[in-house]
Chains A and B, each alone.
Chain A
Amino acid sequence: MTEALQTHYKINPASNETGYKSYEAGSFKFTRDEYFVSIVWPKGAHTMAADGFMRAMMRTVAWGFFYGTLSYDPVFGTTNHYGIVDMFAGTYHPVFKENGRDHLEKFKAEDLLELFRDLVDDWTNEGYDPFAAPGEDDAGQPWGRKNGNNADAVTRIRVTANRMVGLPGDAEIRTDANGFPQNRMFADVSSDQPLVEAEPGFEDEVAAFNLYDYLSRSDVTWNPSVCSVVKESLFCPTSEEFILPVEHGNDRCEWFVQLSDEITWEVKDKNTGKPRSRIVMRAGDVACMPADIRHQGYSPKRSMLLVWENASPRIPDMIQSGEAPVVAVQF
Chain B
Amino acid sequence: MSEYKTVFGGLNDFTPGGVDAIDDNPKNYVFSNVFDVASRSAPYERVAVGKNLEYVIEVLRAEGQSPWYACAHDEFALCMDGEVEIHLVKPDDADVLVDPDSEGAVVLDEVPDGRKMGRIVLRRGHQALLPGGAAYRFEAGAPAVILTQTIQGPATVERWAEICQSESRPAA
Could you tell me which A residues sit within 8 Å of B by CB distance? 163-164, 167, 184-190, 192-199, 202, 205-213, 216, 227-233, 235, 252-253, 255, 257-262, 267, 274-290, 301-302, 308-310, 312, 315, 324, 327-331
Closest to B116 in A: A199
B114 CB to nearest A CB, Å: 11
CA gap between A278 and B18 in the complex, in Å: 8
Chain A residues contacting B57 (CB-CB under 8 Å) are: 255, 257, 286, 308
Is B149 part of the binding interface, using a Cβ–Cβ cutoff of 8 Å? yes
Is B107 part of the binding interface, using a Cβ–Cβ cutoff of 8 Å? no
Chain A residues contacting B73 (CB-CB under 8 Å) are: 230-231
Closest to B166 in A: A331
Closest to A192 in B: B123
A132 CB to nearest B CB, Å: 16
B76 CB to nearest A CB, Å: 5
Is B60 part of the binding interface, using a Cβ–Cβ cutoff of 8 Å? no
Q: Is the CB of B7 within 8 A of A260?
A: yes
**Chain B 31-75 residues near chain A, CB threshold 8 A:** 31-36, 49-53, 55, 57, 73-75
**Chain B 1-52 residues near chain A, CB threshold 8 A:** 3-9, 14-24, 26-36, 49-52
Chain A residues contacting B134 (CB-CB under 8 Å) are: 205
CA gap between A279 and B16 in the complex, in Å: 11
A228, A233, A331 — which one has the most chain B CB atoms within 10 A of its CB? A233
CA gap between A198 and B21 in the complex, in Å: 49
Q: Is the CB of A230 within 8 A of B75?
A: yes
CA gap between A274 and B49 in the complex, in Å: 28
Is B157 part of the binding interface, using a Cβ–Cβ cutoff of 8 Å? no
| Cross-chain contact of A288 among B3, B14, B30, B88 (Cβ < 8 A) | B30
Closest to B159 in A: A331
Q: Is the CB of B17 within 8 A of A282?
A: yes
B80 CB to nearest A CB, Å: 7
Chain A residues contacting B20 (CB-CB under 8 Å) are: 277-280
Closest to B49 in A: A286
Closest to A289 in B: B29
Chain B residues contacting A329 (CB-CB under 8 Å) are: 30, 51, 160, 164
Closest to B127 in A: A211
Q: Is the CB of A202 within 8 A of B36?
A: no
Q: Is the CB of A208 within 8 A of B126?
A: yes
Is B124 part of the binding interface, using a Cβ–Cβ cutoff of 8 Å? yes
Chain A residues contacting B34 (CB-CB under 8 Å) are: 257, 284-286
Is B141 part of the binding interface, using a Cβ–Cβ cutoff of 8 Å? no
Closest to A185 in B: B4
CA gap between A301 and B4 in the complex, in Å: 8
Q: A211-B126, A216-B6, A280-B17 are in contact. List 19 more A-B contacts (CB 8 A).
A: A184-B4, A190-B123, A193-B126, A194-B120, A196-B118, A197-B119, A207-B129, A210-B125, A227-B127, A235-B149, A253-B52, A276-B22, A277-B28, A278-B22, A279-B17, A287-B30, A288-B50, A308-B149, A330-B27
Closest to A315 in B: B53
Chain B residues contacting A262 (CB-CB under 8 Å) are: 7, 17
Q: Is the CB of A235 within 8 A of B17?
A: no
What are 21 A-B interface contacts by the 8 Å CB criterion?
A163-B74, A185-B4, A188-B5, A202-B117, A210-B125, A211-B78, A212-B8, A212-B125, A230-B149, A233-B151, A255-B52, A257-B50, A257-B57, A261-B6, A262-B17, A277-B20, A281-B17, A302-B4, A310-B52, A329-B51, A331-B164
**Chain B 107-139 residues near chain A, CB threshold 8 A:** 115-129, 131, 134
